[in-house]
């Protein structure tokens, strides 16, 4: 087999059907052996738990081609662990974490011709997900589930590539205290759709959510965590129980400290103090590190350096680790082949 004939450098963030996906089914209290399939469609009852009560969660991670031609994944064990948390939060059975990682490896191997080449800027995005598949009409958890992983080649998440983003402070909330904001439940994204469509219509790239209890602290955006850099070069990122614990953000905090010798602070960040920061960025698997140029808070424009020197360094180091140019901490890079 040969690499697919794709204009890798011009890929956006859109679904492209690839050759094989992984599927496993849960019934009578057990997961079956799981297998790869070419069938990209799913047939379920009209009354499935996922369709009626949104019983579904998902993950996102990427496979890359490194500088020396290996195919690798970035910290898939972290996605396995977070998916287990999401499942527990939604009364779904956990797909064993070791099997999750094995399934990721199988899917990447089976679609290796879809892994973009080194230097193209693109990657193979993997989307593990699980849903309640049997009929439930009373509000209760399903008893049967399907776990799947598909792969799709992607480029930058935000249109315009590295152009600094313009965000707005959202009037709508994403997550309630003690709600589901810290897990990757499909419902968190369903309820953000109206707000993201409105943000785009108003000329913004994303919504910045504040804490819904007091509306005074910065949380995250609809699809990424947020990082700030102080004027004296410290990395500051929100501490909150209602944001998704981004694997990219946790990795960046470690990179900042251990590779760049930076001071790192995770703490509550007041909306009223963000005009004190020099740089701002969004981070996530899809977003990678996307520089922020401006946050608009109801007419007040707060500007940042865009791809400033610190965000650039963080980006270069994290990308360097993912691309095999810089040696990462133990266990960060899972070599597929
Ligand atoms: N926050 C939200 C709401 C997300 O959807 C994502 C994407 O996964 C992230 C943050 C970033 O998380 P990660 O870095 O693990 O991809
Ligand atoms: C990811 O970064 O993997 C996500 O799931 C974010 C989503 C908005 C695409």
Residue pLDDT, tens place only, 210-236:
999 999 999 999 999 999 999 999 999
Asked whether the predicted pLDDT for residue 160 surpasses 80, the reply is no
Same domain? For 139 and 204 the reply is: no
What number does the ligand 2 atom closest to the CA of 61 have?
3
Considering the domain boundaries, does residue 329 fall inside one? no
Alpha-carbon distance of 105 to 112, in angstroms, equals: 10
Domain for residue 92, yes or no?
A: yes
User: How many angstroms separate the Cα of 37 from the Cα of each of 15, 129, 148?
Assistant: 18, 15, 10
The pLDDT of residue 238 is 98
Take residue 181 and report the two structure tokens written for it.
């904001």
Q: Are 240 and 271 in contact (CB under 8 A)?
A: no
Q: What is the mean pLDDT of the chain?
A: 97
Do 133 and 178 share a domain, yes or no? no
CATH assignment of the domain containing 139? 3.30.470.10
The residue to mutate among 184, 208, 244, having the most atoms of ligand 1 within 8 angstroms of its beta carbon, is 244
* Domain shared by 148 and 220, yes or no: no
| Ligand 1 lining (C-beta closer than 6 Å) | 60, 220, 223-225, 244, 246-249, 284-285
What is the 285 CA–ligand 2 centroid distance (Å)?
6
Q: Is 1 contained in some domain?
A: no
Domain contains 142: yes
Indicate which CATH number applies to the domain containing 181: 3.20.10.10
User: Around Cβ 230, how many Cβ atoms within 10 Å?
Assistant: 15
Q: Give pTM, 2 decimals.
A: 0.98
28 Cα: distance to centroid of ligand 2 (angstroms): 32
The verdict on residue 111 lying in a domain is yes
Q: Quick: pLDDT tens for 70-99.
A: 999 999 999 999 999 999 999 999 999 999
What pLDDT digit, counting tens, does each position of 274-301 carry?
999 999 999 999 999 999 999 999 999 9
Does 328 map to a domain?
Answer: no
Q: Quick check: is 335 in a domain?
A: no
Question: Where among 154, 177, 197 does a domain terminate?
Answer: 154
Retrieve residue 45's tokens.
């009852």
User: For residue range 227-277, what is the model confidence (pLDDT) as tens digits?
Assistant: 999 999 999 999 999 999 999 999 999 999 999 999 999 999 999 999 999
Quote the pLDDT of residue 1: 60
Provide the terminal-to-terminal Cα distance of the chain, rounded to the nearest Å.
15
Q: Do 272 and 252 share a structural domain?
A: yes
Ligand 2 pocket list (CB less than 6 A): 60, 223, 284-286
Strands 145-154 and 218-221: unpaired
Same structural domain, 17 and 123: yes
**What total of structural domains would you count in the chain?**
2
DSSP states of 118-145 as a string?
Answer: TTSS-EEEEEEEEEE-SB--SSS--S-E
Atom of ligand 2 nearest to the CA of 223: 8
Same domain, 314 and 202: yes
Q: Which domain holds residue 233?
A: 165-322
Name which of 321, 329, 242, 249 is nearest 289 in CA terms.
Answer: 249
- Ligand 2 atom 9 nearest Cα: 286
Same domain (yes/no): 136, 273: no
Helix (H, G, I), strand (E, B) or coil at 66: coil
Q: Are residues 12 and 102 in the same domain?
A: yes
Q: 154 CA distance to ligand 2 centroid (A)?
A: 12
Last residue in a domain, options 154, 181, 203: 154
Tell me: do 241 and 184 sit in the same domain: yes
Mutate to test the pocket of ligand 2, among 56, 287, 318 (most ligand atoms within 8 A of CB): 287
Q: Does the pLDDT at position 162 exceed 80?
A: no
In this prediction, residues 25-51 reach a mean pLDDT of: 98
Mark whether 184 is an active-site residue.
yes
Residue 331 within a domain: no
54 and 102 fall within a common domain: yes
Same domain, 179 and 94: no
Judge if 145 and 208 occupy the same domain: no
pLDDT at 189: 98
Angstrom distance (rounded) from CA 150 to CA 300: 42
- Return the axis-axis angle of helices 76-89 and 97-110, rounded to nearest 10°: 130
- Choose, from 20, 62, 112, 184, the residue flagged as catalytic: 184
Q: Which atom of ligand 2 is found nearest the CA of 285? A: 2
Q: Which atom of ligand 1 is nearest to the CA of 250?
A: 14
């Amino acid at each position: 087999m040969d690499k697919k004939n794709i204009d890798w450098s011009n890929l956006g963030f859109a679904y492209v059907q690839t050759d094989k996906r992984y599927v496993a089914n849960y019934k009578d209290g057990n997961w079956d052996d799981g297998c790869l399939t070419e069938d990209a469609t799913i047939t379920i009852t009209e009354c499935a738990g996922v369709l009626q009560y949104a019983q579904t969660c998902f993950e996102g991670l990427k496979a890359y081609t490194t500088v020396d031609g290996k195919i690798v994944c970035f910290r898939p064990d972290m996605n396995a662990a977070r998916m287990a948390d999401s499942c527990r939060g939604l009364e779904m059975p956990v797909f064993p974490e070791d099997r999750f990682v094995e399934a990721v490896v199988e899917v990447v191997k089976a679609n290796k011709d879809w892994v973009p080449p080194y230097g193209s800027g693109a990657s193979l995005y993997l989307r593990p997900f699980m849903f309640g598949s049997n009929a439930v009409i009373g509000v209760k958890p399903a008893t049967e589930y399907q776990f799947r992983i598909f792969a799709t080649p992607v480029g930058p998440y935000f249109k315009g590539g590295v152009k600094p983003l313009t965000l707005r402070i959202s009037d709508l909330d994403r997550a309630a205290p003690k709600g589901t904001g810290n897990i990757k439940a499909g419902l968190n994204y369903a309820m953000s759709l109206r707000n993201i469509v409105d943000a785009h219509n108003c000329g913004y790239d994303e919504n910045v959510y504040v804490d819904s209890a007091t509306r005074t602290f910065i949380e995250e955006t609809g699809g990424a965590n947020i990082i700030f850099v102080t004027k004296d070069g410290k990395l500051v990122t929100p501490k909150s129980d209602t944001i998704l614990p981004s694997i990219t953000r946790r990795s960046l905090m470690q990179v900042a400290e251990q590779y760049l010798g930076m001071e790192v602070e995770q703490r509550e960040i007041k909306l009223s103090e963000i005009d004190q920061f020099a740089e701002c960025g969004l981070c996530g698997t899809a977003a990678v590190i996307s520089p922020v140029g401006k946050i608009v808070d109801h007419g007040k424009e707060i500007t940042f350096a865009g791809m400033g020197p610190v965000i650039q360094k963080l980006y270069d180091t994290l990308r360097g680790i993912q691309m095999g140019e810089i040696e990462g901490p133990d266990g960060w890079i899972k070599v597929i082949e």
